[in-house]
Structure 1
Amino acid sequence: MSGLLDLLNSPIGSQIIKGVAGQAGESEQKTAGVLSMALPLLMGAMKKNTATPEGAQGLMSALTNKHDGSILDNLGSLFGGGVDDNVMNDGQGILNHVLGAKQPQVENALSQKAGVSSDTVATILKVAAPLLMGVLGKQARNENVVESNGIGNLLGGLLGSDENSNKEQSLIESFLDSDGDGSILDDVAGMVLGGSNKGGGSGIGGLLGGLFGK
């Protein structure tokens, strides 16, 4: 399965970055930077949620009934003239489910890390969330994932399938719930910003830098 790095570096990834950048009014380079941090974070949070049968079934139901991947079939139409309010509202609903009350904290952290405003990050996330669900839906169809117990493996595959990537994903998940209380995004601001050192560091930023080969 293609990982997130492959997705962002692919022709469809370039189209997504260009379209999201246009919607957010930001450069493609900075938009790509936000996406490279935000997508693994969102997927890590989703994967954490699928650890429970209820969470896995909820995601499987969403992929089956609404996010089947068709949003990716005509990106030119999606981005032409601006993204439809229905898509933006759908994105906000996904973020509410995945990030909950931690969304402003995540947006501020990504804002400082990427050097763009938190409002711009919020717009990028709203557009990216339905697209990410579309990627998951398309992969689920391609791999004939019809049972909720296969969702975790699908997410793990997109985050990286080799041993090193699996180790990094485990670290990402543990950092997402740093104090083990089930709130998967506790202290995420400090973790993202803590990875800003060039040596990679122990924060989320450093881990994602390693995940994307930076």
Structure 2
Amino acid sequence: MNLLDMILNTQDGGLVRQIANNFQLDEGSARSAIGALVPALSKGISRNTASPQGLDELIGALSRGNHSQYIDEPESVTRQAAIDDGNGILGHIFGSKDVSRQVASRAAESTGVDTGILKKMLPMLASMAMGAMAKRGLASGAAAQAAAPESGGLGSLLTGFLDADKDGSILDDVIGMAGRFMR
């Protein structure tokens, strides 16, 4: 199961319902918005973990935070603490608010969901992404895997999580995942 599928299907769609209710969207629109935004998060995470420093930062963040709560308790993603956490995550993933704004703008064009809503949704989804990675156990044992380059390390594990068709590239999956929700 890849990152997008995990977010969409966790708690029998509870995360999707929570986002829909929070932004007064129908579940289909919420699902489309999530489908348009999560691939950009996946790509950013993959890009950041390609370097040893980025990988270390992710391992540290996963081991320090209680990110799994965002998956276990869907209502927690709408709390201010989750939004603040998500904004910090976005800063690491995208590097600037301008990139976050561009991601939201592109998603608005393809989904019809208001850009303002998508900008507010993005930090929640960033928190969910960290929660999904924490639930997948990427934090447990990640340091040992990262220290063993011959096994592919955490970068390889992340690529597997972010790479839906297991071809070693997440770019086609990002495009494909987004396309499924743009129809």
What is the TM-score with the length of structure 1 in the denominator? 0.70
Whole-angstrom distance in 2 between the partners of 1:128 and 1:5: 10
8 Å contact kept, 1:60–1:148 = no
Q: Does 1:132 align with 2:111?
A: no
Q: How many residues are paired up?
A: 174
8 Å contact kept, 2:67–2:128 = no
Q: Does 1:157 align with 2:160?
A: yes
Are the structure 2 counterparts of residues 27 and 51 from structure 1 closer, same or farther at C-alpha, using a change threshold of 3 Å? Answer: same
8 Å contact kept, 2:3–2:162 = yes
**Residue of structure 1 equivalent to 2:15:** 16
Structure 1: stretches of 5+ with no match in the other structure: 173-203
Secondary structure (helix, strand or coil) at the match of 1:146 reads helix
**Residue of structure 2 equivalent to 1:208:** 177
8 Å contact kept, 1:56–1:151 = yes
Secondary structure (helix, strand or coil) at the match of 2:136 reads helix
Shift of 1:170: 4.2
Q: Does 1:96 align with 2:91?
A: yes
CA RMSD of aligned residues (A): 2.7
Secondary structure (helix, strand or coil) at the match of 2:124 reads helix
**Residue of structure 2 equivalent to 1:181:** none
Whole-angstrom distance in 1 between the partners of 2:91 and 2:118: 15
Structure 2: stretches of 5+ with no match in the other structure: 147-152
Whole-angstrom distance in 1 between the partners of 2:10 and 2:171: 29
Shift of 1:143: 6.5
What is the TM-score with the length of structure 2 in the denominator? 0.80
Q: Pick the structure with greater CA Rg.
A: 1
Whole-angstrom distance in 1 between the partners of 2:92 and 2:72: 25
Q: Does 1:42 align with 2:11?
A: no
Deviating more after overlay: 52-61 vs 36-45: 36-45
Shift of 1:125: 1.0
Are the structure 2 counterparts of residues 155 and 19 from structure 1 closer, same or farther at C-alpha, using a change threshold of 3 Å? Answer: same
Matches within 5 A, 1:103-122: 103-122=100-119
* Residue identity (%): 23
Secondary structure (helix, strand or coil) at the match of 1:140 reads coil
Higher RCO (Cα < 8 Å, 6 or more apart): 2
